Chain A
C-alpha cells in the first residue's frame, strides 16, 4: 500500500473505479526478473581485466592502441554512417594529428621576431580550443553527444587536412610559382570538403533537425581556418 500512496495523483483515470486498484497486484522483486547485462560504452579493454594485460608484452599493448587508432583513421577516410568513432572514442588520434600539424605549420624559429606564421603553441591552442568551443556549442544547442565523443570526432577529422599539409610541403619543394599555388589550392579545397563531409556524417545525427545548421556552421569555420593556415604556409 505504501507504493500506492506515493504515486502521483492521476485525475484522468480516477473516476470510474477505485484508485490504484491494480497496483497491489504488482510486486517488484519476485515476479519481474531484473537482471541482464549493463555494458558501458567505452573501450572493450575493460573486459580484458580478467585476462590481465599486465603480463603481456609491450608490443601487444602498443599495437592494440595503434590498431584502434588506425581503424578510426580508415573510418574517417571512408566516411560511412557508423558508430565506431563515437562508441570507442579515444584522444590518441587527435593528439597525434594535432602535434603533426603544429610541427609542420610552425614558423621558423630563427625568424620569430617579425610577424610570421603561427608558433607551435598557437596552432595547438587553436585546434584544441576550437574543438572544445564547438563541442560546448553543440551541447548548449541541445545535442545528445558526449563531450569527449565530440572532441574525438573533430580531432580525427583533421586527418585529411594533415594529409593536405604533407602534400603542400612536398609541392613547395618544387619552388614557388602560380602553378604551384593552384595545385596547393586545389588539394586544400578537396581535403577541406572531405573533412567537412566526414565530420558532418558523424555529428549531424546528434542534433535535433531544426538546429542542425547551427551546429554544423562552427565546424565549417573551424576547418576553414585550419585550411587557411595550411594554404598560406610559406617556408622561410
Chain B
C-alpha cells in the first residue's frame, strides 16, 4: 500500500518536473542568451512555477544582473529589446493594486544619489538613461525633486523680495502664499506634460523611421525630473539681488541640464531627418530655458539699479524711482 502511494507521488512529482521543464524552455526562448544564467540557477525556475506572483521579480533579478555587464558597451538593439521585455515583465501586477505602484519606487538611497550626480555632471557620450536608469525608472526622484524645487522657488522669491525692499518705509512684508500654488502648477505641468508630448512625438517618429533607441514614458519623466535638480541650488542662489549674477546662474543651469537632456535624446532622434532631429533638440532646450527664465521673471522682483535706502531729505526721488520700475 505504501509502495503504491509512493509510486503515485513519484508520478505526480515527475509530472510537475515535466511541466517545469516545458515552461523553462518557453522562458529560455523568450530571453535568449540570458537563459544560461537561469539554467545555472534552477531555483529561479522552480520558484516561477509555484508562485506566479513571485516570478517577475526573481526572473528580472537574475536577468538584469547578467544583462547589465553585456549592455554597458552596447548602444543599440539588444538593449532596447531587453528594455521593452523587462519593462513589460516587471509590472505584472494589475494597475489597481498597490504593488504595481511599488515597482516605481524600487530604488535605494545610493541609486538616487547616483542619478542626481549623473544629472549634474553631463559627460559627453554617456547617456543618462542608459547609464543610470537602466530600465528601472523611478518616480521618487522626479516627484520629490519637483516638490523641493517648488518650495525652493517660492521661499527664495519671498526672501529676495524682502531683502530688496528692506529699507523702504512703504513696504510691508507679506508672505505671499499664493505663489506656492502657482509654482506647483507650473513645475508639475512642466515635469509631466512636456515628457508626455515628447514621448508622443517620439512614438510617432518611430512609426515612420526605425529608430534604434526608444524610451518609455516613465524613463522620459525620470530624465526630466532629475534634470530639474540643478535648479534647486540655482533658485537659492537667485536670492542674491544682482542682475548679472542671476543671469550667469541661468546660463550655467541651462547649460548643464540642457546638455543632459540633449545628450539623452540625441540618440533617439539622430536616425531621423536631420532637420527634424535638430528641431526636436532645439525645442527641448528652448522649453527648458523658458521655464527657468519665466520662474526668474515671475517670482523674483528685479533688483533696482538705482535703489537707495530712503532718507527723509529725498522722498520725491524714491517715489519716482519706485514708479519707473
> Which residues of A are interface residues toward B (Cβ below 8 A)?
1, 4-5, 8-9, 11, 14, 18-20, 114-118, 122, 137, 139-142, 210-214, 217-218, 221, 224-225, 228-229, 232-234
Name the distance in Å between A127's Cβ and chain B's nearest Cβ: 14
Q: Tell me the B99-151 residues at the A interface (CB within 8 Å).
A: 101-102, 104-105, 107-110, 112, 140, 144, 147-148, 151
Query: Bound complex: CA of A134 vs CA of B115, how far in Å?
Result: 22
Taking a contact as CB atoms under 8 Å apart, the answer to whether B151 and A214 are in contact is no
Taking a contact as CB atoms under 8 Å apart, the answer to whether A116 and B177 are in contact is yes
Name the distance in Å between B22's Cβ and chain A's nearest Cβ: 15
- 7 residue pairs of the A-B complex, CB under 8 angstroms, read A9-B12, A20-B9, A116-B175, A117-B177, A141-B105, A212-B109, A225-B151
Binary per-residue interface labels of chain B (225-247) against chain A in the complex, 1 for a CB within 8 Å, 0 otherwise:
00000000000000000000000
Whether B178 is near chain A, meaning CB under 8 Å from some CB there, is yes
**A122: chain B residues within 8 A (beta carbon):** 177
Interface size on B, residues (CB 8 A): 36
**Smallest CB-CB separation from A217: which chain B residue?**
B144
**A137: chain B residues within 8 A (beta carbon):** 105, 140, 144
From the candidates A139, A142, A221, A232, name the one contacting B175 in the complex (CB within 8 A).
A232
Closest 7 CB pairs of A and B: A232-B175, A140-B105, A18-B6, A19-B9, A115-B176, A210-B108, A9-B16
From the candidates A115, A140, A234, name the one contacting B177 in the complex (CB within 8 A).
A115
**Smallest CB-CB separation from B104: which chain A residue?**
A140
**A228: chain B residues within 8 A (beta carbon):** 151, 155
Taking a contact as CB atoms under 8 Å apart, the answer to whether B177 and A210 are in contact is no
Taking a contact as CB atoms under 8 Å apart, the answer to whether A118 and B177 are in contact is yes
Taking a contact as CB atoms under 8 Å apart, the answer to whether A210 and B13 are in contact is no
Taking a contact as CB atoms under 8 Å apart, the answer to whether B6 and A214 are in contact is no
Name the distance in Å between A116's Cβ and chain B's nearest Cβ: 5
Taking a contact as CB atoms under 8 Å apart, the answer to whether A234 and B174 are in contact is yes
Whether B30 is near chain A, meaning CB under 8 Å from some CB there, is no
Taking a contact as CB atoms under 8 Å apart, the answer to whether A140 and B102 are in contact is yes
Taking a contact as CB atoms under 8 Å apart, the answer to whether B10 and A115 are in contact is no
Query: Bound complex: CA of A8 vs CA of B102, how far in Å?
Result: 29
Given the known interface contacts A5-B12, A234-B173, the answer about A18 and B109 at a Cβ–Cβ threshold of 8 Å is no
Given the known interface contacts A116-B174, A211-B109, the answer about A218 and B144 at a Cβ–Cβ threshold of 8 Å is yes
**Smallest CB-CB separation from A224: which chain B residue?**
B151
Taking a contact as CB atoms under 8 Å apart, the answer to whether A9 and B174 are in contact is no
Whether B26 is near chain A, meaning CB under 8 Å from some CB there, is no
Query: Bound complex: CA of A184 vs CA of B188, how far in Å?
Result: 33
Most chain B beta carbons < 10 A, residue from A8, A9, A115, A210: A9
Taking a contact as CB atoms under 8 Å apart, the answer to whether B102 and A115 are in contact is no
Most chain B beta carbons < 10 A, residue from A11, A114, A224, A232: A232
Name the distance in Å between B122's Cβ and chain A's nearest Cβ: 24
Name the distance in Å between B148's Cβ and chain A's nearest Cβ: 6
Taking a contact as CB atoms under 8 Å apart, the answer to whether B13 and A115 are in contact is no
Query: Bound complex: CA of A168 vs CA of B260, how far in Å?
Result: 45
Given the known interface contacts A18-B2, A114-B174, the answer about A214 and B13 at a Cβ–Cβ threshold of 8 Å is no
